[in-house]
Amino acid sequence: MTALTAAARRLIPRSPLPRHVLAVLAALVVVVLVLENTGSFRASQLATMSYYAIAAVGLTVLTGLNGQISLGHGALMAVGAYTTGLLLGDDGLPFPVVMVLAAAATALVGIVVGAAASRLHGPYLAGATLAFAVGTPGLAVYFDSVLGGEQGLPVAAPTAPAWFDDAMFFLTGNDLGSQKYLAYLGWGTLLVVMLLLANLIASRYGRIWRAVRDDEVAAELSGVRLGHTRVLAFVVSAACAGLAGSVLAMVVRLAAPSGFTIVLSLSLLTAVVVGGLGSLGGALLGSALLVFLPPAVTDLGTAAGLTGVQAAELAPLVYGVVLVLVILLAPGGAMGLLRGLWRRRVRRPGGGVPGHEGRGDDEGGTE
């Protein structure tokens, strides 16, 4: 076992970029295998998970690495969704361009909000972003002639290009439906975002963010510009939220105020905490729990004899219990628990590679 583990580790590149590219390619293979062996409903759930995860990994940079608590990411997703709805149409811009513009527009909003919040800490920052989250959906009602009001703004879902449809049929032998294509679009975007963020976290910027999170005074004495660093983290996180909102708008085919309430912001923060602060993989696990746990609990409740309403009300309760248990029993989240189990295994005599257990918890990477 030790020899096999050591041989496998020798095959993994030591440089961050090749290692992250290899991990993303492996993840892409897994995504294709999963999507090609699931139905349309499961593909719809996976598409939903993709835009939650895009926003969650961005929030991980802000909260997990830089230590800023944001309750306004639902509003940032709204900016990306409405930008997509306004620019995307039958005669509009190509959807890749629209997604980039949605991320850019949200990043600009992130500069304004991040600059205003850069001098705030703890509950004051949370309160400021909470006000932003509560107030932003009301803009759609105020400017109802442009943004659709309470009914929302219809969004034209993109169709698969002919070359992509033909390529997927050649590779898999299956027809590419619209829902499956949106799932591919969401997961392709997620993997690109994770690749970029993993390399950013492994760079000097990631080290600076962690230094500011751990000790602001020491970081400032070392020459770190705290305000500039906080704004940069907010902008990166906002761009991810805008991209997530763009994917959401195309998957749901609608951008409406009811979809971007404070509940969305709290759900994203919960996913990051449950998965593990500072870990991109933890954000992915938290997003999966956010999407798949409520329907599973509802089905179990229905099977146990509860009515549909009672079973639906049981899901938030179970999710809250899971959150409390994670905070009490595994403060490092799901990824922290998995790391602890792995380290205990490799520390057993003959159980692992010497020196592996010394690796830091949030060292750069897609873990």
Question: 218: exposed, middle or buried (C-beta count within 10 Å: 0-12, 13-18, 19+)?
Answer: exposed
Q: What is the pLDDT of residue 107?
A: 94
Q: Which residues partner with 254 through β-bridges?
A: 154
Q: What is the pLDDT of residue 117?
A: 75
Q: What is the pLDDT of residue 165?
A: 85
Q: What is the pLDDT of residue 240?
A: 95
pLDDT, averaged in runs of 10, over the chain (367 residues): 52 75 91 89 92 94 86 92 86 86 94 81 79 87 87 87 86 84 94 94 89 84 85 93 95 91 89 86 90 86 81 80 81 77 68 44 47
* Cα four-point dihedral sign 233, 237, 240, 245: negative
Alpha helices in 36-176 (DSSP H): 40-59, 73-87, 95-117, 122-142, 144-147, 162-172
In order of start, what are the domains of the chain with their CATH numbers?
2-358 (1.10.3470)
Contact 270, 323 (CB under 8 A): yes
Q: How many C-beta atoms surround the C-beta of residue 180 within 10 A?
A: 23
Q: List the structure tokens of 366.
A: 């897609």
Indicate the length of the chain as a whole number: 367
| SS3 state at 297 | helix
CA distance 87 to 99: 9
The upper half-sphere exposure of residue 217, i.e. CA atoms within 13 Å in the direction of its Cβ, equals 0
Q: Which residues partner with 154 through β-bridges?
A: 254
CA distance 295 to 291: 8
Q: What is the pLDDT of residue 364?
A: 45
Q: How many C-beta atoms surround the C-beta of residue 150 within 10 A?
A: 11
Q: Which amino acid is at 101?
A: L
CA distance 312 to 297: 8
Q: What is the pLDDT of residue 225?
A: 86
